[in-house]
């Protein structure tokens, strides 16, 4: 039964990836891919890796509260802080800070999935990646490397394939983004266990130094926040 279920999941993933290739990364299709992995063997391994990180088990067992940033309050923090940089990014890009698909957090996999989805843009700010496709691939690579979040692993495989097969002009940027994201994932402290909400007023550069994050130098994947 388990093998049959995973086979069906793979078939659904192929359909979702086809839709992603057509839409260029629509949020609904990304959310569908993420949700399709919720009860998978790959997600079970991902949760185990998260729990093994320093502080990971505590976060997941207490179901650390949902991420609910107050953008107005954050924008009033000093210019060099994480909170100010994050609020500025969200407003500059005209993002809805609550764009993510609502999920309950009754299971460990659901809680972790929601935590990753809601803090994704903070990783852009911390790691210095832009929001172009290559920068997105870089951010995904960090979490894919640090805990093997299955949807992100698959999304970067798709990005690499698309650039080789259909968008060769994008191959250098995509490869650069993934490579630098992998490097951060291997060298830096785990981003997924950080309690960003308790350090909004900490300078962004101080966060980076403490975590061991080296921001990218290449202009094709970097951004200033």
**Contact call for residues 117 and 101 (beta carbons, < 8 A):** yes
Report d(CA 36, CA 12) in Å as an integer. 8
**Contact call for residues 140 and 181 (beta carbons, < 8 A):** yes
Nearest by Cα to 81 from 1, 151, 89: 89
Instruction: Please report the pLDDT score of residue 7 as a whole number.
Output: 47
Instruction: Please report the pLDDT score of residue 31 as a whole number.
Output: 79
Instruction: Please report the pLDDT score of residue 129 as a whole number.
Output: 99
Instruction: Please report the pLDDT score of residue 197 as a whole number.
Output: 95
Composition of the chain by helix, strand, coil, percent to 5: 65, 0, 30
125: number of Cβ within 10 Å = 23
Report d(CA 67, CA 64) in Å as an integer. 9
pTM of the model: 0.88
Instruction: Please report the pLDDT score of residue 29 as a whole number.
Output: 64
Instruction: Please report the pLDDT score of residue 35 as a whole number.
Output: 87
209: number of Cβ within 10 Å = 10
75: number of Cβ within 10 Å = 14
Instruction: Please report the pLDDT score of residue 66 as a whole number.
Output: 81
Instruction: Please report the pLDDT score of residue 1 as a whole number.
Output: 47
Residues of the chain with pLDDT under 50: 1, 4, 7-8, 11
């Amino acid at each position: 039964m388990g093998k049959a279920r995973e086979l069906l999941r793979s078939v659904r993933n192929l359909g979702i990836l086809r839709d992603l290739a057509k839409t260029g990364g629509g949020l609904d299709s990304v959310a569908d891919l993420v949700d399709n992995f919720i009860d998978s063997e790959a997600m079970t391994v991902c949760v185990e890796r998260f729990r093994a990180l320093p502080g990971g088990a505590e976060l997941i067992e207490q179901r650390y509260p949902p991420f609910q940033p107050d953008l107005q309050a954050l924008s009033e923090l000093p210019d060099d802080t994480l909170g100010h940089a994050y609020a500025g990014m969200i407003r500059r890009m005209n993002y809805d800070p609550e764009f993510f698909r609502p999920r309950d957090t009754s299971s460990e996999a659901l809680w972790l999935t929601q935590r990753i989805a809601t803090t994704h843009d903070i990783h852009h700010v911390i790691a210095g990646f832009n929001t172009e496709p290559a920068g997105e691939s870089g951010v995904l690579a960090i979490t894919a490397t640090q805990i093997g979040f299955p949807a992100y692993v698959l999304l970067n495989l798709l990005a690499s394939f698309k650039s080789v097969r259909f968008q060769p002009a994008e191959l250098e940027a995509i490869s650069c983004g993934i490579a630098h994201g992998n490097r951060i994932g291997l060298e830096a402290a785990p981003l997924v266990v950080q309690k960003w909400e308790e350090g909004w007023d900490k300078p962004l550069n101080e966060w980076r130094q403490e975590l061991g994050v080296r921001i990218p130098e290449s202009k094709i994947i970097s951004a200033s926040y």
